[in-house]
Structure 1
Amino acid sequence: MNLFGGTISKLESGLNYASLKNKTIAQNIANVDTPNYKAKNVSFEKMLSDAKKSTISATRTDIRHYDFEITQSAPGVYSYENFNYRSNGNGVDMDTEQANLAENTIYYNALVERISSKFNSLNTVIKGGR
């Protein structure tokens, strides 16, 4: 039985994406004064294509062997290689990073609020509407 039609798992994926993006933005902000550091970003499309490519499956050569398939999710983090924002080769624009952080925080909080609402609905059903 799949509660909420898979909504919670999709919200979880969204939270994973927002968390990775937040870590990447924090890393950019932490390295704002590091010479030759290139700013990184997270692309949902790149995460999706990387997830599709990274599936490993085993060939069963004996009846006693187990079939298995491993999916490795490579994060869709990429860096701006040819972009220099400062003369020391640093590619971090602090204003852009702060704007990205604010936008990502709003997105993350919206997902948390939505998943919390789903769990509250489930809790209400379990308690019989009380």
Structure 2
Amino acid sequence: MAISFNQAFAGHDKMLEFRSERASVLANNIANADTPNYKARDISFDSMFNNEQSKLRLASDNDRHIQGNSTMGESSGLLYRNPSQPSLDGNTVDMQREQAEYAQNSMQFDTSFMFLDRKISGLKKALTGN
């Protein structure tokens, strides 16, 4: 019986990819906190999910069926953050919010990594019998 890693990891590997990408976006916001006219960006799981879902093609078994092409979700899922306190120089980075979001994302990354590690440990035990 073949092992499908896509099913075995239960999506935890994809969640790690999302958390890594979000950490990069948040770190970029923090690095540009003093850049005039810089617009803070963020990425949400919903936007990433909708972006990936829109790439799927629907199968049809009849030529008269409507084709499942979609133009939604063409962007990478990056969204602009609405500033709570706009700056005079046009920068929308709120340093306290960015640091809090980064810390929360870091904890969620650690949690996803722990789940993935447990999945892999379980697979090792199943394969070796220990």
TM-score normalised by the chain length of structure 1: 0.75
What's the CA shift for 1:86? 1.5
The structure that is strand-richer by fraction is 1
Residues 99/83 of structure 1: CA separation in 2 closer, same or farther (3 Å cut): closer
Larger mean CA deviation between 5-14 and 43-52 belongs to 5-14
The residue correspondences of 1:1-130 to structure 2 (distance < 5 A) are: 1-3=2-4, 6-55=7-56, 74-80=75-81, 85-129=86-130
2: CA distance, partners of 1:55 / 1:127? 37
Aligned residues: 115
2: CA distance, partners of 1:35 / 1:111? 35
What's the CA shift for 1:52? 2.4
* Greater relative contact order structure (CA < 8 Å, 6+ sep): 2
* RMSD (CA atoms): 2.7
Residues 94/81 of structure 1: CA separation in 2 closer, same or farther (3 Å cut): closer
Question: What residue ranges of structure 2 are gaps of 5+ in the alignment?
Answer: 58-72
1: CA distance, partners of 2:51 / 2:21? 15
Matched residues, percent identical? 28
Residues 111/102 of structure 1: CA separation in 2 closer, same or farther (3 Å cut): same
What's the CA shift for 1:116? 0.6
Contact 1:47 1:74 in 2 (8 A): no
Question: What residue ranges of structure 1 are gaps of 5+ in the alignment?
Answer: 57-71
Q: Secondary structure at the match of 2:9?
A: helix
Contact 1:38 1:83 in 2 (8 A): no
User: Equivalent residue for 1:68?
Assistant: none
TM-score normalised by the chain length of structure 2: 0.75
**Amino acid across the alignment from 1:104:** N
Residues 117/90 of structure 1: CA separation in 2 closer, same or farther (3 Å cut): same
